[in-house]
């Protein structure tokens, strides 16, 4: 998911961690430093360090317990350190420079290419970390320059929630929404009935880009040319909704959290949001459908979720044990469990089938993840954040009326080209 800093809105692993049967892995830490290998530790036995972006889970949590379980299964003691997402990338880069990286590192998928380019992460070929069975489009988020730098622990993405009560009062048939034209027609009906049509997050951060991408990609847009006519069509769609009152002006400053809070109030027909809201949606009687492409079909949405990577170690013999811990984390039996309110879709087809067997309501999300793509895919790597910044700047400019969609995106493309050369 991506969080309000740079994650695909999600510490939504919370639902995943509630699974009692889940067994995870983590990296242990050295007694002398926050990361790296403790003095005297060998490749087998000893302490292995693990860093993750979940400070909300303390030592008594299911998350910490499954990390310990996977360490025990590999014959080692785990030492886990949790950092805020905004701090983790910087600390991982510094540790890599100092030669004190943790044995295992869990980071948001767009960060992988940054750490890989800095030489912090091993490739899966070098570490022996298996990528067998992982869905290609989910795995792609951790690939750069033809190499793979970790494995996903799960994935989330975006879809279109709707409020059946509002749709009924507005005379909207959810099944009629198949493309942009039919969705806009539904929004107009909602407005005519006294409701707002749709809410989303267009905030001037990565969250705004994250939510815009399904419309951008759904138009046929490519991140290598964000000023294309297809891109302009997507931004015109959003700007038109705001101008016509089909979406509230608050979307300009909405995070995904505040957008969802608006939707919860029961006065809006549709809301673009992610897997992490699934449990709350069920509680409120909301339903979900795929985000439509311009001319129909499911629009590709960005994959959110974290990657488990093995940072470079001086003692390369440690990789074998770390790989065992990582395999434990992503094992089907450990990922799925018996909880029917999982917020992550499993990263392997086998585990997804088990999830669907336990909870058929996950099908729209499994389908959405199946159509999703990584933000750094297409070998964009570290170019993506620079392109994304220009994209969210253009969205802000068009939605606030400072410029037309075409002007905003042409300026964005020029700036993105200069920034990525």
The domains of the chain are located at: 13-156+304-371, 158-301+380-420
Same fold, 13-156+304-371 and 158-301+380-420: yes
Q: Which pLDDT band holds residue 65 (cuts at 50, 70, 90)? A: confident
Q: Report whether 2 contacts 210 (CB < 8 A).
A: yes
Mean pLDDT value across residues 18-28: 29
Q: What is the dihedral of CA 57, 63, 64, 69, to 10 degrees?
A: 180
| Mean predicted confidence (pLDDT) in 84-97 | 93
DSSP state of 196: E
Least confident range from 8-22, 106-120, 370-384: namely 8-22
When pLDDT is averaged across residues 229-237 and rounded to a whole number, the result is 98
Phi-psi region of 169 (alpha: psi -120 to 50; beta: other; left: phi over 0): alpha
- Whose tokens are 């600390």? That residue is 91
Would you state the pLDDT for residue 14?
31
CA–CA distance, 325 with 35 (Å, rounded to integer) = 17
Instruction: Convert the pLDDT of each residue in 98-129 to its tens digit.
Output: 999 999 999 999 899 999 999 999 999 999 99
CA distance 237 to 243: 10
3-class SS of residue 253: coil
- End-to-end distance of the chain based on CA atoms, in angstroms? 29
The answer on pLDDT for 341 being more than 90 is no
Tell me the pLDDT tens digit for each residue of 154-187: 898 999 999 999 999 999 999 999 999 999 999 9
Cα–Cα distance between 382 and 91 in angstroms, integer?
18
- Percent of the chain scoring above 90 in pLDDT: 72
- Nearest by Cα to 366 from 379, 385, 353: 353
pLDDT, average across residues 247-269 = 97
Q: Strand, coil or helix: what is 369?
A: helix
Q: Which fold has domain 158-301+380-420?
A: D-Maltodextrin-Binding Protein; domain 2 (3.40.190)
**Could you read off the pLDDT of 411-421 as tens digits, one per residue?**
999 999 999 98
| pLDDT reading at 66 higher than 60 | yes
Residue 139: CB atoms within 10 A of its CB come to: 23
Range 37-49 average pLDDT: 63
Most confident residue range from 224-233, 339-348, 351-360: 224-233
323-336: pLDDT as tens digits: 999 999 888 776 66
Grade residue 344 by pLDDT with cuts at 50, 70 and 90. confident
For the segment 244-257, the average pLDDT, to the nearest whole number, is 96
Mean pLDDT taken over the chain: 87
- The CATH homologous superfamily for domain 13-156+304-371 is Periplasmic binding protein-like II (3.40.190.10)
pLDDT of residue 3: 42
Query: Has residue 373 got a pLDDT over 50?
Result: yes
């Amino acid at each position: 998911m991506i969080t309000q800093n740079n994650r695909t809105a999600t510490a939504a692993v919370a639902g995943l961690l509630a699974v009692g049967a889940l067994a995870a892995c983590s990296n242990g830490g050295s007694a002398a430093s926050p990361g790296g290998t403790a003095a005297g530790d060998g490749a087998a036995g000893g302490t292995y360090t693990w860093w993750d972006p979940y400070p909300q889970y303390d030592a008594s949590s299911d998350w910490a317990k499954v990390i310990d379980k996977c360490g025990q299964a590999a014959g080692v003691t785990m030492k886990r350190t949790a950092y805020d997402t905004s701090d983790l990338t910087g600390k991982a880069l510094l540790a890599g420079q100092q030669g004190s990286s943790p044995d295992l590192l869990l980071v948001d998928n767009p960060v992988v290419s940054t750490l890989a380019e800095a030489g912090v992460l091993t490739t899966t070929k070098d570490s022996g970390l298996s990528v067998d069975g992982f869905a290609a489009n989910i795995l792609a988020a951790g690939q750069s320059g033809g190499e793979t730098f970790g494995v996903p622990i799960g994935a989330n993405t975006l879809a279109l929630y709707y409020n059946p009560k509002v749709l009924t009062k507005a005379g909207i048939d959810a099944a009629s929404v198949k493309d942009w034209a039919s969705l806009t027609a539904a929004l107009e009906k909602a407005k005519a009935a006294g409701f707002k049509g749709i809410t989303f997050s267009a905030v001037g951060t990565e969250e705004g880009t994250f939510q815009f991408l399904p419309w951008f990609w759904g138009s046929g847009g490519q991140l290598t040319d964000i000023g294309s006519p297809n891109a302009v069509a997507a931004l015109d769609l959003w700007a038109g909704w705001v101008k016509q009152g089909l979406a509230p002006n608050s979307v300009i400053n909405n995070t995904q959290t505040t957008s969802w809070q608006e939707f919860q109030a029961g006065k809006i027909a549709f809301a673009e949001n992610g897997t992490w809201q699934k449990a709350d949606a069920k509680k409120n009687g909301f339903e979900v459908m795929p985000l439509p492409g311009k001319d129909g079909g499911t629009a590709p949405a960005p994959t959110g979720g974290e990657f488990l990577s093995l940072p470079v170690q001086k003692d390369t013999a440690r990789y074998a044990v770390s790989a065992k811990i990582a395999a434990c984390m992503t094992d089907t039996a450990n990922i799925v469990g018996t909880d029917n309110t999982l917020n992550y879709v499993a990263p392997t087809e086998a585990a997804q089938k088990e999830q669907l067997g336990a909870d058929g309501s996950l099908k729209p999300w499994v389908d959405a993840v199946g159509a999703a793509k990584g933000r750094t895919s297409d070998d964009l790597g570290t170019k993506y954040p620079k392109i994304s910044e220009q994209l969210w700047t253009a969205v802000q400019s068009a939605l606030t009326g400072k410029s037309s969609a075409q002007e905003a995106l042409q300026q964005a493309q020029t700036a993105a080209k200069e920034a990525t050369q």
